[in-house]
Amino acid sequence: MTALPQLDQRSNISSGGQTFLPSDDSENLQDSLAPLLPKKVKQSDLIYVTNQLAIMLETGMTLSVALDAIAEQQENHTLKAILFELKDRVEGGEDFSTALTRHPKYFSPTYISLIRSSEQTGMLGEMLARLADYMRKSLETQSKVKAAMAYPAVMLLMSIGVSIFLLTFIFPKFTPIFTQRAMKLPLPTTIMMALSDFLLFYWPLIVLSLIGIGVLWWSRNKLEPIRKGLDWAKIHMPIFGTLMQKVIVSRSIRTLGTMLHSGVSTLEAIKAAGEVSGNYYYQEAWTQIHDHVVQGNRIASGLGMFPIFPKTLIQMINAGEETGKIDFVLEKVSNFYDTEVDISIKTATSLIEPLMIAVMGLIVGGIGMALMLPIFSLSQGG
C-alpha cells in the first residue's frame, strides 16, 4: 500500500527508519508517530468525509482537489493517509470506486457499489450526499439500539458484581459461626454456602471459562454454529427480539431502496441488502430471494417465502413493483420502520427498567435473606 509511505514523507520520516523532526513543532511529532500508532476510523468520520466530499463536488471542485483539502484538515492520521492515497490514485487515472476497493475494511461493498453507479451516471456529488444521509440514518438507529441495551447490561453487571462480593467476602465470614454451632441451616443458606465455596475454590476454572467464552465470542463470525445460535437468540429473545427484527428489516430495506434509486442492478442491490442485515437467518433469506429473482420472479414473492418478513412489508413492496415505483416505496417503508424502531426502543426501555430493578432486588435480596435466616435462628435460640 502507498498510504503509509506517503504519510511518512509528509511527516519527514526517512526510508532508513531515522526521524528528522523540528524540535519546536509538536504537530510534526504527532504526524511522525502516526504510522506507529494507527487510529481507528469511526463510522462518524466516514460520514463527515462523505458529506464534505458531496458539498465540495457540488460547488465545482474536482475530486482530487476535494480529497486533498479534506485530508489536510483530518486529525485522524489513519483516515488522512487513506484520503491522500485515494487522491494520488485518482490523479493517476484510477476510478474512485476502484481506489475504494483497496480499503474494504473502511468502505463497504454497498458504499463502493453506489459510487461505481454514480460514476457511470456522472452524478457523484449527488450520490455522495445520499450516501452520507443513508449512513447517518443507519448510525442513528445503531446508536439508539446500543443506548437502549446499555441500561440492562449495566444493571446485570452490577447484580453480578454485588453477588460475587457478598458470596466471596461476606458469606465466608459467617460460615465458621454456622459450622461451630452445628445448627441445621435453611435450604437457601446451604445453597449459597455451596455457591460461595465453589467461587472461592474454583475461581481459576471460572476465569479460564470466561476467557474461553470471550475467545468464542470474538470468533463467532468464523464459527457458523455459534453465529447461528447467537443470531437466533437476537431475534427471539424477550422484549428486544422484536426490536432487533425491525432494526434488521429497516437496515436491509433502506439499503435496497437507496441502491435501486441510484441505478444499481436489482440483483446487486438484493445481495447488498443481505450483507448489511448482520444476521445469519436474514442473510440466508436474502440469498434465496436473490436466486428467486434470478429465475425471473419478483422481490415481493421471494419475501413471501419467509415468515421473518412482515406481511405488510411484502404487500407494500408488491404494490411498488406493480406500479414501477419500487425505490419510492422502499424509501417510505424504511422511514416507517425507522419510526417503528424508535417506538419499540421506548417501549422496551420502559419495560426493561423496572424489570431489571426487580431482578437485581431478587438476587441481592435472596443472598441477604440466605445470610440473615440462620442469624435470626441463633438470636431466637439464644
The per-residue pLDDT for 18 is 40
Q: Is 123 helix (H, G, I), strand (E, B) or coil?
A: coil
Instruction: Check the CA dihedral 310-253-306-341 and report its sign.
Output: negative
Q: Three-class SS of residue 19?
A: strand
CB half-sphere exposure, 258, CA atoms < 13 A = 29
Looking at residue 167, what is its pLDDT?
85
Q: How many other CB atoms sit within 10 Å of the CB of residue 234?
A: 19
Grid coordinates belonging to 104? 474494504
Q: Which three cell numbers stand for residue 50?
A: 462523505
Cα separation, 326 vs 186, in Å, equals: 67
Region of residue 122 (phi > 0: left; psi between -120 and 50: alpha; otherwise: beta): left
Contact (Cβ atoms closer than 8 angstroms) between residue 299 and residue 289:
yes
User: What local confidence, expressed as pLDDT, does residue 380 receive?
Assistant: 65
Q: Are 166 and 367 in contact (CB under 8 A)?
A: yes
127 closest CA partner among 239, 20, 259: 259
| Reported pTM | 0.71
What is the per-residue pLDDT for 281? 93
Instruction: Determine the distance from the C-alpha atom of residue 49 to the mean position of all C-alpha atoms in its chain, rounded to a whole number.
Output: 20
Name the nearest CA neighbour of 370 among 226, 239, 174.
174
Residue type, 3: A
Give the integer Cα–Cα distance in Å for 12 and 117.
39
Q: What is the pLDDT of residue 286?
A: 95
Predicted pLDDT of residue 38: 59
Confidence (pLDDT) at 7: 39
Residue 223 DSSP one-character state: -
- Residue by residue, DSSP assigns 29-73 as HHHHHTTTS-----HHHHHHHHHHHHHHHHTT--HHHHHHHHHHH
CA pair distance 309, 274, nearest whole angstrom: 13
DSSP secondary structure, 238-257, as one string: TTHHHHHHHHHHHHHHHHHH
Provide the residue type at 247 as one letter.
V
Partners of 13 in the beta sheet?
A: 19
Instruction: Name all domains of the chain by residue range, CATH numbers in brackets.
Output: 3-13+28-107 (1.20.81), 136-382 (1.20.81.30)
- What gap in Å lies between CA 114 and CA 54, rounded to an integer? 13
Closest to 4 in 3D by CA, of 88, 105, 69, 66: 88
Q: Report which DSSP code applies to 168.
A: I
- Among left, alpha and beta (phi > 0; psi -120 to 50; other), residue 74 is beta
* Chunked mean pLDDT (size 10), the chain, 382 residues: 40 39 44 55 90 91 91 89 92 91 89 86 86 88 83 84 86 78 78 87 89 82 82 87 89 88 87 89 94 93 92 91 87 86 83 83 84 75 53
Residue pair 21/29 in contact (Cβ under 8 Å)? The answer is yes
